[in-house]
Chains A and B, each alone.
Chain A
């Protein structure tokens, strides 16, 4: 081990020396962490792909304010303890300027104290727990909290879709519980009746039992607060047992895999998200095409948010470089507070003081194997 330490220190010293005189381009190094192995590696992988696509595009620009982006990745397996270790790793690594990623709120929560202590900025793109709001002046995310999302969705269900009898299914984790709590409250407030609410564990395959019970309740809307993998199975199995009900899902459903896995059964499902792959906006289409070319699949919400996070970081880094002549942790953190309405495929990004993102969602519907803008939107 000692040898490794010596090499590490020597290497670090050498790079420091080499970096001093040149100073041409300011390299901003991203420490990326997410679940990249284990049951839920897919979500982390999507994020890494979205982010790496953005980095590649940014570095290919001829004029980027003297900023280039680099990335180092660490697999947290979705474990809070690994999150702690990785946070410390990035803190101690002076070359790391910012932490990005995080596929689970609990991992980010475990890491938060350490990140805060070493004043390392974080820009997360998939963690929605309200607990993370204001957890540290260095913590930001470009995704709406599940509480905000759920409330919007509850109102939409009752007011816009006119649902009267709602059955709710939620993923048993902070995302599913938080979002569904808010959804249920908002839907009730808008006059709908909640017939039942049941939880399932992420990774569940068999929903027939719950769906059979739900079928007997004759709901007019089924809420799914969870991810696309389970939602696809819920839709398939609902059809298999002859339950024909409008499904409304949270933004965890926003993935082309939903359509691939759900097949014809998923048709008609309504969901929301900050990213609308169907929009004819040129930047969205360019993103979808570039992503498809590079990875052979269509991007989902995880990838799109991570991609936008890359561009948001780039804006902050350019601002910091212009102001201070260099990009460091403190400068970057200050710049995040200043940047406004950074354009992206999920809409413009502006951060609130507590690190949350300002913004709203769009409602989408699956139609003939494609996402389209839902005919009815909230207000």
Chain B
């Protein structure tokens, strides 16, 4: 009984924190239909700022700076105000210019802002955890009920969350601005036509949302007694999941979703076998189940025709948009064929000649990585660039391919049956296909439940899938050797001749990439590719035109997955060692950014993006300030992408895309 009570309290407290942050996601999503990933980082800034204000001095950029040393009750509101202002600025500078951009643009910008803020925080406060200064809530004695203990902080969290939620409820129900916010969430365009200043309402949603995220971060820090640059990432994802659980856009739903998630996590970790190692997977597992059976969320209402009903403030192109898209596509391939072939020829010549000028095996190895990332980005580009489906779980396919070949070679053949791995050198080539095929199958499995979902739901679902695969690879030690990784994977060889040197790997990778690009080009030019573009440009209209969107989305997932799997096989054998650390969400984001950088929905874009970024990362290592602040490399990427999204959203190579629609 004591145990249950203790679990109950823990769950309620955790749920309250998730709920606060989930409301932030839901507020903004309701109006803009955009997931502001940066709330996770604003959550983190809330904790850092309150700690900074409370301490007598803080090290900022490595310099000790005297601070006011305010009491908690003063520091917390100040931190919340600060973060709210940050939220407003981010909306104003990074998101508002994209109000009419294609739907993926703000989402990718949000991810970029989040990466930039994370690394900014590391530059400002350092990589160490900052401990939370003691204050009255922490010093108070816990209440004891039987064998269960409730600390004052926990009570404060639960009570404050309840009060804030109630206040918010009245705010949106009763005040002028709150009503305007609800109206905008239901129909932005109609709200504008009623004279509701939509930009101000959106800014308000960001301000309130950021404040709530900060409050959640302050509490999270106070409960676990720390602040850290990456502390907001996971809770941010969980809050997002909570918002979706409750029915995104629905404030009461977000509260409920947060509480449900808090309970599921606490009790799952306690009672499931090996539950605490899988606790992050619990949230994503619930999410996937929910999206399968009740995609509108717990409290969400399913409107008969949401698309027609809502009318986002965007230019709806409907059928004419498809025509334009198709016309553009055919012009893309017809009129400029000569130019295109010529430029591909040039690219091929450059690729081969790079091989002659490698000054060292190091640069050859760098270009092996360019090829690996180019392959991954090309695969993801099918899903994101051509079919317009945001995929944040693509690394899972990469992992599946890698683990498939590694387990087969090392764990099964060599260790299990004592087979000499060099005698089955040909299996590597077979595995390229098998690994790709297996990943394609996973793609189908992932695609199937997501078919009915649109846009952002899909993004979150794929994210959950990717995280689950990574957690399984980490925790299913008997199969994958877990975090120890699998080593001794043989290098590719041909009739006993080893292809293990960086230059040989580069040439092998080049062949793979050429094949991949060729296959992707074939697909894109066929009816398949046109169907993808039609889905990307306007799914409803594509469906109306008789395209079986579900089937073509599945094709996109499995085609993308196939190339991810192939890359995984090549990756494992070129590295000779794999571990779950390679397949993180951050890597996925990076691959996504490569595509955006080079140009979404183009064949050469992912390759150019990969080349620029990988080479930049390596060259940047030598810069003097990078030698001291390594995190700046990634902050630079984040900022570059935000700027790119605003001024050249089609990427470096992309054709100018028309701002057709938001949904």
Surface stretch bound by B, among A207-215, A281-289, A345-353, A365-373? A207-215
The answer on a CB contact under 8 Å between A109 and B147 is no
How many residues from A make CB contacts under 8 Å with B?
A: 73
Most buried by B among A198, A206, A210: A206
Q: With a CB–CB cut-off of 8 A, which chain B residues contact A38? A: 230, 586, 631
Measured CB to CB, the nearest residue on chain B to A213 is: B270
Q: In the complex the two chains form, is A242's CB within 8 Å of B149's CB?
A: yes
CB neighbours of A44 from chain B (8 A): 127
Q: Is the Cβ of B357 less than 8 Å from the Cβ of A2? A: yes
Least CB distance from A137 to B in Å reads: 17
A240 engages B149 (CB within 8 Å): yes
Residues in B with CB closer than 8 Å to A213 are: 3, 270
B485 and A109: CB pair below 8 A?
A: yes
Q: Is the CB of B579 within 8 A of A5?
A: no
* Residue from B59, B277, B279, B360 having most chain A Cβ neighbours under 10 A: B360
Q: Which one of A109, A205, A215 has the highest number of Cβ atoms from chain B below 10 Å of its Cβ? A: A205
- Whole-angstrom distance between the Cβ of B487 and the nearest chain A Cβ: 5
- Our pick among B6, B224, B266, B365 for the contact of A85 (Cβ within 8 Å) is B365
**Min distance, Cβ B217 to any Cβ of chain A, angstroms:** 12
Pair A106/B579 contact, Cβ less than 8 Å: yes
Known A45-B128, A172-B474, A199-B277: A205·B579 in contact at CB below 8 Å: no
A212 to B271 CA separation, bound complex (whole angstroms): 12
Binding-face segment, B86-94, B422-430, B614-622, B643-651: B614-622
B: number of interface residues (CB 8 Å): 77
Indicate which residue in B144, B275, B477, B618 contacts A242 across the interface (CB closer than 8 Å).
B144
Q: Are A200 and B634 in contact (CB under 8 A)?
A: no
Q: CB distance B365 to A88 under 8 Å?
A: yes
Residue A93 CB within 8 A of the other chain: yes
1/0 per residue, CB under 8 A from B, across A56-88: the answer is: 000000000000000011110011110011001
Contact in complex: B362, A233 (CB < 8 Å): no
On chain A, the residues within 8 Å of B149 by CB distance are 240-242
**Using a CB-CB cutoff of 8 Å, which residues 440-486 of chain B contact chain A?**
471, 474-475, 477, 482-485
Q: How far is the CA of A261 from the CA of B225 in the complex (A)?
A: 7
Task: Tell yes or no: B322 within 8 A of A by CB.
Answer: no
CA distance A36 to B119 in the complex (A): 11
- From B14, B361, B579, give the contact of A80 (CB < 8 A): B579
Q: How far is the CA of A229 from the CA of B6 in the complex (A)?
A: 24
Q: Is the interface of A mostly helix, strand, loop or mixed?
A: helix
Q: Which of B14, B126, B502, B619 contacts A4 (CB 8 A)?
A: B619
Q: How far is the CA of A237 from the CA of B365 in the complex (A)?
A: 46
> Is the C-beta of B337 less than 8 angstroms from some C-beta in chain A?
no
Complex Cα distance A239/B122, Å? 30
- List which B169-199 residues lie within 8 A (CB) of chain A: none
Q: Report the separation of the CA atoms of residues A241 and B389 in the bound assembly, to the nearest whole angstrom.
A: 45
Q: Name the interface residues of B255-287: CB closer than 8 Å to any CB of A.
A: 266, 269-270, 274-277, 279-280
- Asked whether any CB of chain A lies closer than 8 Å to the CB of B418, the reply is no
The smallest C-beta distance from A46 to any residue of chain B, in angstroms, reads: 8
Q: Give Cα A42–Cα B131 distance, bound, in whole angstroms.
A: 14
Q: Does A174 count as interface, using CB distance less than 8 angstroms?
A: yes
Taking CB atoms, residues of chain A closer than 8 Å to B483 are 106, 172-174, 177
Q: Which residues of chain A are within 8 angstroms of B361 by Cβ–Cβ distance?
A: 88, 91-92
* Of listed A9, A110, A112, A212, residue having the most chain B CB within 10 A: A212
**Pair A206/B224 contact, Cβ less than 8 Å:** yes
- Cross-chain contact B359 with A296 (CB below 8 angstroms): no
Question: Across the interface, do B276 and A200 meet the contact criterion of CB distance under 8 Å?
Answer: yes
B128: chain A residues within 8 A (beta carbon)? 42, 45, 257, 297
In the complex, the answer to whether A92 meets B360 with C-beta atoms within 8 Å is yes
Q: Compute how far the CA of A131 lies from the CA of B488 in the bound complex, rounded to whole angstroms.
A: 11
A41 touches B631 (CB 8 A): yes
Which residue of B3, B131, B366, B484 contacts A174 across the interface (Cβ within 8 Å)?
B484
**What are 15 A-to-B residue pairs whose CB atoms are below 8 Å?**
A36-B630, A41-B122, A81-B575, A92-B360, A92-B361, A109-B577, A129-B484, A199-B475, A201-B471, A215-B3, A229-B129, A233-B224, A233-B225, A240-B149, A263-B134
B residues adjacent to A (C-beta < 8 A): 2-3, 6-7, 10, 14, 59, 64, 119, 122, 126-129, 131, 134, 142, 144, 147-149, 151, 220, 224-226, 230-231, 233-234, 266, 269-270, 274-277, 279-280, 357, 359-363, 365-366, 369, 471, 474-475, 477, 482-485, 487, 502, 571, 575-579, 581-582, 586-587, 615, 618-619, 621, 627, 630-631, 633-634
- A contacts, CB < 8 Å to B: 1-2, 4-5, 8-9, 36-39, 41-42, 44-45, 72-75, 78-81, 84-85, 88-89, 91-93, 104-107, 109-110, 112-113, 129, 131, 172-174, 177-178, 198-201, 203-206, 208-210, 212-213, 215-216, 229, 232-233, 236-237, 240-242, 257, 260-261, 263, 296-297
